[in-house]
Amino acid sequence: MTKKTVKDVEVRGKRVLVRVDFNVPLKDGKVTDDTRLRAALPTIEYLCQQGAKVILVSHLGRPKGAPDESLRLDPVAQRLEELLGRPVRKLDSCVGPEVEEAVAALNPGDVLLLENIRFHPGETKNDPELAQGLAKLCDIYVNDAFGTAHRAHASTVGVAKLRPAVAGFLMAKEIEALSRLLTSPARPFVALIGGAKISDKIGVLRSLLTRVDSLLIGGGMANTFLAAQGYNLGRSLLEPDQLEQARSIMEEARERGVNLVLPRDLVVAANKEAGAEHRVVPVNEVPEGWMALDVGPATVEEFCRILAGARTIFWNGPLGYFEQPPYDAGTVAVARALPATAETIVGGGDTVAAVTRAGVADRITHISTGGGASLEFLEGKELPGIAVLEDK
Ligand code: ADP
Ligand code: MG
């Protein structure tokens, strides 16, 4: 890890602004999934124990640069207080004289939560004035929100440029796990890529091609690869404008000696509705007008066999329309077959949901909290929110 973390700076008595990712689901004024709050606890608890004055800032949802009553962070403060076992004072704004007063009144070990930073139009524009306002509140800046590190916003980059800036524990864990994939993966290194579209993931597919031993492709994006091979996919999700891209990826895999594996059978259905007629067919027998919604059992078996021999696995993208059983079967079967002997890294909002639903989340070496951020990281791009942190 080349970036400084909270352990590399003296925080005692200092005002420490921590960018967290508290973008959690809410219902009826309550947090319905507190995974992201729990993930931030190690950094917050450490800072409190070290006697820092802790100021937390996060976004929640997409409020369009103006206050939105349904996206206030009060329910988050309430749940965080329970998890931390310490009072969490919540403010109704992020910058300005009242906030500065509240910060001035903090004692070492106190925790303050600012309002949803995206209520300010300046956040996503990385407005210097908003960044200044945040910088006024703190002596040290900590970024523990990996999921937003690929965006240059006022609370991820602007303020970080104005103060000594370091990584929190969660951020450090993400950087370490993903860096290992780029620099020194134990081999064989197998990537499993699914999800809806190739176009979302071209960058990462190209990058993985230069690093992996096997590339297994499922989900909607596999349809485009199969179509590029000349198969008729009926009414399946397909990207006609990506056929050339798919061909060129297959060509590059051949040149590099990467074992690129596409589905050999598919679960096809007459339509996407629950209870629609469905059956398993080889890829060359998709009935006219039907659609592929999952990989078939022969494909699952082949994927599992290759995964069983892997020492490093990266997985992004469900292998089918997993929100609608029985089309979760391929995804769930592969999730359950992930070998305990490999280092397994899973990223992507839907993929993490699928792995959790399969009940195997605790067997995964690292579950990345960032969807877009983890893909950009694996493309080899420098993420602005990480670049701005101080080197060791
Ligand atoms: P992640 O959020 O993990 O990065 P994506 O958003 O790329 O994953 O892809 C997940 C979406 O892809 C899900 O909504 C899933 O239903 C859809 N999907 C996967 N395979 C298919 C398919 N064969 N047909 C239609 N949708 C699919
Ligand atoms: Mg998704």
Note the pLDDT tens digit of each residue in 231-263: 999 999 999 999 999 999 999 999 999 999 999
- For the stretch 183-224, pLDDT in tens is 999 999 999 999 999 998 999 999 999 999 999 999 999 999
- Active-site hit among 13, 29, 349, 359: 349
> What does the pLDDT read at residue 200?
87
Based on the fold, state whether residues 185 and 136 are members of the same structural domain. no
Closest ligand to residue 237's CA: 1
Nearest-CA residue for ligand 1 atom 4 is 348
* The residue count for the chain: 392
Cα 145-147-151 angle, rounded to 5 deg: 95
Closest ligand to residue 324's CA: 1
Based on the fold, state whether residues 225 and 366 are members of the same structural domain. yes
Based on the fold, state whether residues 161 and 272 are members of the same structural domain. no
Is residue 323's pLDDT more than 90?
yes
Residue 53 appears among annotated catalytic residues: no
Omega before residue 326 within 30° of 0, cis? yes
Label residue 309 by pLDDT band (50, 70, 90).
very high
Based on the fold, state whether residues 159 and 207 are members of the same structural domain. no
Tell me whether residue 116 is in a domain.
Answer: yes
> From ligand 2's centre to the CA of 200, what distance in Å?
10
Helix or strand or coil: residue 3?
A: strand
> From ligand 1's centre to the CA of 327, what distance in Å?
11
Residue 7 appears among annotated catalytic residues: no
Closest C-alpha to 30, from 62, 73, 85:
73
Tell me whether residue 310 is in a domain.
Answer: yes
Based on the fold, state whether residues 229 and 270 are members of the same structural domain. yes
The number of distinct structural domains making up the chain is: 2
Helix or strand or coil: residue 337?
A: helix
Q: Which numbered atom of ligand 1 lies nearest the CA of 200?
A: 7
Residue 203 appears among annotated catalytic residues: no
The CA–CA distances, whole Å, from 75 to 30, 109, 115, 286 equal: 5, 21, 11, 49
Tell me whether residue 392 is in a domain.
Answer: no
Alpha helices in 163-296 (DSSP H): 169-183, 202-209, 219-228, 243-256
Q: Tell which of 170, 204, 233 closes a domain.
A: 170
| Residues 319 and 262: beta-carbon distance below 8 Å | no
Q: Which helix (H) or strand (E) holds 348?
A: none
Residue 349 appears among annotated catalytic residues: yes
- Active-site hit among 197, 206, 264, 311: 197
Based on the fold, state whether residues 280 and 144 are members of the same structural domain. no
Q: Whole domain around residue 342: which residue ranges?
A: 177-378
- For the stretch 111-136, pLDDT in tens is 999 999 999 999 999 999 999 999 99
Nearest-CA residue for ligand 1 atom 15 is 321
CATH number of the domain that 82 lies in?
Answer: 3.40.50.1260
Based on the fold, state whether residues 166 and 188 are members of the same structural domain. no
Residue 346 pairs in a beta bridge with 315, 367
Tell me whether residue 290 is in a domain.
Answer: yes
Tell me whether residue 138 is in a domain.
Answer: yes
> From ligand 2's centre to the CA of 131, what distance in Å?
30
Phi-psi group of 215: left, alpha or beta (phi > 0 → left; psi -120 to 50 → alpha; rest → beta): beta
